[in-house]
Structure 1
């Protein structure tokens, strides 16, 4: 008897999102977007336009301006057709960066919808706990 609580669909959804982080976001490969994200992708980030073309444009801009940027995944969760990823974005090696949580909805094997929240990381904090 397996103790793994995730369904095969949930495992596939999580793998899709984590592979997208590796092959699209960390690689900053705008051409790889179509392998992971639906053409009618619904974007809720208020800084990026709807659909895949604005996302591709953003990736090309980031690759040009900050080619050392990384998206360091700290934890991920899956629940049915939703995947949540908590990660650390750094634009260059010594950047404090942001703590980010992305929520993705998967449909027909592709990322169909995206929400995110992010927090700038301060140089000091009254709290001794890491945001990660």
Structure 2
């Protein structure tokens, strides 16, 4: 099924946010992509853009070489889902992450995520990616 024009815009917005906010962990770029009344469901970060900016600054300070490697993304209506691999430093097995974003009026209005440790050793031969 082909994406609608709105779905394409929503996907472009979220991918641009990854490129300019999450990958470089640039708190100063948050306001270009997230609504001022942004709703956060991540249990480690309070709701709103200011707590997210503080979180990004903290994470960037602790893990300046972190990598966010996007594996796949999906869009349906006003929701965009991104599955990616976060590694904090070289040699880190990292996390498998799925982010769900809701877009409203051209900005990211809401966010949910699921984070799973990637084990160094696993009985399952299938990658989480």
The CA deviation at 1:47 is 0.7
**2:106 paired with 1:101:** no
Root-mean-square deviation (CA, aligned residues, Å) is: 0.8
1:126 equivalent among 101, 123, 127:
123
The CA deviation at 1:28 is 1.1
Q: Which runs of 5+ in 1 are unaligned?
A: none
* TM-score computed with the length of structure 2 as normaliser: 0.98
Residues 68-127 of structure 1, C-alpha deviation per residue, up to 9 Å, x if partnerless? 011110000000000000000111121110000000000000000000001001111111
* TM-score computed with the length of structure 1 as normaliser: 0.95
In structure 2, distance between residues paired with 1:54 and 1:129: 36
In structure 2, distance between residues paired with 1:18 and 1:66: 22
Query: SS of the counterpart of 1:22?
Result: helix
Q: Which runs of 5+ in 2 are unaligned?
A: none
Structure 2 residue aligned with 1:13: 10
**After superposition, where does 1:1-132 map in structure 2 within 5 Å?**
5-132=2-129
Residues 6-32 of structure 1, C-alpha deviation per residue, up to 9 Å, x if partnerless? 011000100111111110011111010
The CA deviation at 1:36 is 0.4
Query: SS of the counterpart of 1:68?
Result: coil
Give the number of equivalent residue pairs. 129
